[in-house]
Every structure is written in structure tokens, then in C-alpha cells.
Amino acid sequence: MELGLRDTVVLVTGASRGLGAAIAVALAGEGAQVVAAARSKDALEEVAARGGGRISVAEADMRDEASTLALVDTVVSRYGRIDGLVNNAGIAPAGKFADQDPAIWRDAMQVNVIAPMLLAQAAGRHMIGQGGGRIVSVASTTGVRGKPYLVAYSTSKGAVVRMTEALAAEWAPRNVQVNCLAPGAFKTDAQSAVLESPDLLRRRVAKIPAGRMADPDELVPLACLLVSPRASFTTGAVFVVDGGESGKL
């Protein structure tokens, strides 16, 4: 099915590796002009090299609000519009809650909640002005069901889910669709400790009815669909992609 993404302009954050990189490359493959954003320019350039000339890069730090907001201005300055935003950048601090420094919670909220809200607001203003657009935020299954030792992460991703639902209802009359992906266990750098330990990997996979962890490319088709005009009546939805783990009793 043709997704209608050719020559649309999409900003993807956290695009230097993992899920963000896979989404950026796939969108470029569908004909979109992608701006891939992250802190590491070298890693971004490697991703851009896989984009067939349709990925440009932009350095940004989600901890810095000015840097975050400048991203949307950069996209519009380069291409004159912004049709899609994929809020993928995030951090997942782990540890015993009773021992954690509150600074860790604030950092997680800044990167995982405040930055996506700032980008959604800035991009949304342009989308409304041009007649529509689509925002997709990458949350987590821990934002749907809390997980021990990831309290700050779970809290922040739960906030992203609620933001998605509320903003979708507010902007549906303006033809801006807002949706959320909640991935489970994917083979990314964030899971390196699990992937490199046969024992940890065995225990992690035992919790997943599908019997394995997923490859980043397995999130890509849904992400591309939600960024496309084909999803024009889909808004406020949270799509769990976890091999059945959240549904297991």
C-alpha cells in the first residue's frame, strides 16, 4: 500500500540509533524528507548515509529547552513545512526508588516529557497553520503498566500516554492526529546488558509469549503508517507492540 509519504517532511528525535534510526531510514525509504535529530552528529551522519539522500541531520539535546525548540525552526527553515513529528528520544534511569536522587527524576521528566511537549506544541502550531499533520510519540509498555526499578521512566512514559490522548482530542478538529507507540522488549543499545548476558536474556524472553525480543524494524511499519496521511482517522490511540507480554496474566 502506498502510504502517501513522498515529499512530506518529518522530524525524528533520538534518531542516531535503535528505534529512532530504524524509523528515520524507513520513512526516507517511503519518500519522506527526514530530519534526524540527536546529540551525536557522527552517529547521525551514519544514519543519514542509509537514507538515500532523504535524511538530513540536526544536533539537539533534549535536556536543553532552547536546543529542543530550535529543532522545529530548523526543519521549517530547511523545507518550509513540517508534516510529521516522531518523539522518540528518551532516557531510562534504573535503580531502587528509595535510594534515587530526585535529580534523576527531574532529568527523566525533562527528556521524556517536557521535550516532547515542547516539540509537539511548536510543530503543532505549524501543522495547524498548514492544514494538518501527524505526531507520534514513542512511550513504552512501562508507561501502560508500571515496572519496578524504573519508577521515573514508567512515570514519564505514562505522562506521554496521557499527553497523547489529551492532545489528540484537542487537535482532532484541526486535522492533527496524535498517537503513541508503546514498545516492549526490542533489540537496541538500551537493552545491551540483557542481550550480552545469556542468563538475563533467557529470563527476559521467558516473560514474552512470542518467545523472543523484537528487532527495531518490527516497529517501523506501524510508525510509518501513523506518520502518513493514511492514518487520518486514527488519533488518541496507544499501540502496544510487545509480543503479547502486557496481555499475559
Distance (Å, rounded) from C-alpha 120 to C-alpha 115?
9
Catalytic pick from 93, 153, 188, 227?
A: 153
149 in active site: no
Distance (Å, rounded) from C-alpha 24 to C-alpha 6?
14
Please return the burial class of 194, using the count of CB atoms within 10 Å of its CB with bins 0-12, 13-18 and 19+: middle
Cα 116–175–235 angle (5° rounding)? 60
Task: Return the C-alpha cell found at 19.
Answer: 528505534
The residues carrying an active-site annotation are: 153
